[in-house]
Structure 1
Amino acid sequence: MTRKEEAYEYIRGEIVHNQFRPNEVISENQITDKLNMSRTPVREALKQLEADGLIEMRGRENVVAPLTVDAVQEVYELRSLLETFALKKTINLIPIVKLNELEEAFERAAAKEDWDEYLQVDTDFHELITHIAGHPRLAQFLSILKAQTARTRHVSSYNPNRMSRSLEEHKEIIKWLRQRNLDEAEKALAYHLQRVYDSVRSYLNYLND
């Protein structure tokens, strides 16, 4: 891992886990001191995070992008379009054994009520159904959305009932993927993504009340 990648992963993780809060100014000096590195890789990482939509430049300051209902809705709509498109291409290529492994991993994480583990399995699952060889532009768009999606995943975890519901939603998607039933798999995927959006929207509305 390069120094830039190290800085990127650290800052991204702090934003996704809400340690760097929306509208908070990120200090280059604090990051360089924390990671014991020069400013150059930190500045490069901040530029990448700006391209990902996690940071905004306000004057000469790097500020954590706000997480608004409108922004979450846009991410949800784009994610729904791209994942549904990808699913059409991948549904007959996804190994059944891999689906079985992920379903078991979901169940293990849910049994432990371990959100970090559960969200990693969630990430692995959605990457599995969207991985298409030979479609570099789709991969690029999904990569940009990945950072935004990670942020909304963690916000949805604040709902105490979300994990059990998410587990059932993923098991439903996996059921139809095993049967190579595209229509039902698309419906189950759309329902799951809508529930994620609803959970995040409810949390944000609560904060703004």
Structure 2
Amino acid sequence: MSVVDEAYEGVRSMLIAGHFKPGDKLREPDLATTLGVSRTPLREALRSLQAEGLVTLAGRGAVVTRMSAEGVYDLYQYRAVLEGFTAEQAAQRNRDGELSPSQISSLWAREKAVENASTDSSRVESNLALHQYVAELSGNSSAIEALSRVWAQISVSSAMNLTSGSWRGEMHEQHRTIVEAIEAGNPDHAFTAGRAHVRTAAEVFRRLAT
């Protein structure tokens, strides 16, 4: 991994983890010291993050993207289609015998990790890991890349944790429905469940944001 890549991954990880809020100024000297890199590769990393929609370059640094509630809601709608597709493809691959029993076991383990998470941070982390694994099981690299960008944009620009609160029980139930559909090799059911799950999250976001 190059120094530029290290700087990119370092800043991106901090953004997604919520170390900075939308509208916060990221100062190059501070970031360079934190990451242990010089400012030249850091600037290149910030340019890549700007292209990804996570920051806007401003003087000697960058500003964390601030998106309107409607803009974030639109991202959720786009994500719903993508996640419906990846769940569908994962189920199709399982029906075709392309997924192993150990992969299905790993899928269930990730679902249980979300249910058993005891803190907000661990719940957010395990929830993303589950969604990422469903995408991985789809075997579609284009969808995986698109979702990686959308997940990051939503995390950075909304600064809102949707894994807690009154809909947590419904979230777990929807996760189980998605996993069951993949395990059963039912692509249609998996698509519907995957899309519906993210659409529900979109409505939860809209309710909390207004």
| Structure 1 residues 21-60: aligned runs within 5 Å | 21-58=21-58
Query: Paired residue for 1:175?
Result: 180
Q: Give 5+ residue unaligned stretches, structure 1.
A: none
What are the Cα deviations for residues 82-113 of structure 1, in whole angstroms up to 9, with x where unaligned? Answer: 23333443322243542333323332443342
Counterpart selection for 1:117 from 117, 122, 125: 122
Check the 8 A contact 1:110/1:167 in 2, yes or no: yes
Distance 1:153 1:70, change over 3 A: closer
What's the RMSD between the two structures over aligned residues? 2.8
Check the 8 A contact 2:26/2:61 in 1, yes or no: yes
Query: Paired residue for 1:199?
Result: 204
Q: Give 5+ residue unaligned stretches, structure 2.
A: none
- By how many angstroms is 1:147 displaced? 1.6
- By how many angstroms is 1:142 displaced? 3.0
Check the 8 A contact 1:12/1:49 in 2, yes or no: yes
- Write the distance in 2 (CA, Å) between the matches of 1:146 and 1:126: 10
Larger CA deviation: 186-195 vs 5-14: 5-14
- Write the distance in 2 (CA, Å) between the matches of 1:116 and 1:161: 17
- Write the distance in 1 (CA, Å) between the matches of 2:185 and 2:5: 38
Query: Paired residue for 2:104?
Result: 99
- Write the distance in 1 (CA, Å) between the matches of 2:23 and 2:130: 31
Count of aligned residue pairs for this structure pair: 204
Check the 8 A contact 1:79/1:145 in 2, yes or no: yes
Query: Paired residue for 2:69?
Result: 69
Q: Sequence identity of aligned pairs in percent?
A: 23
- Write the distance in 2 (CA, Å) between the matches of 1:180 and 1:97: 15
TM-score, with length taken from structure 2: 0.80
Counterpart selection for 2:165 from 156, 160, 169: 160
Larger CA deviation: 193-202 vs 115-124: 115-124
- Write the distance in 2 (CA, Å) between the matches of 1:17 and 1:162: 22
Task: Verify: 1:142 aligned to 2:179, yes or no.
Answer: no
TM-score, with length taken from structure 1: 0.80
Larger CA deviation: 137-146 vs 35-44: 137-146
| Paired residue secondary structure (2:165) | coil
| Paired residue secondary structure (2:57) | strand
Distance 1:181 1:79, change over 3 A: same
- Write the distance in 1 (CA, Å) between the matches of 2:163 and 2:180: 27
Query: Paired residue for 1:8?
Result: 8
Question: Could you say which structure has the greater relative contact order, defined with CA pairs below 8 angstroms and 6 or more residues apart?
Answer: 2
Q: Which amino acid aligns with 1:142?
A: L
Check the 8 A contact 1:169/1:192 in 2, yes or no: yes
- By how many angstroms is 1:30 displaced? 0.9
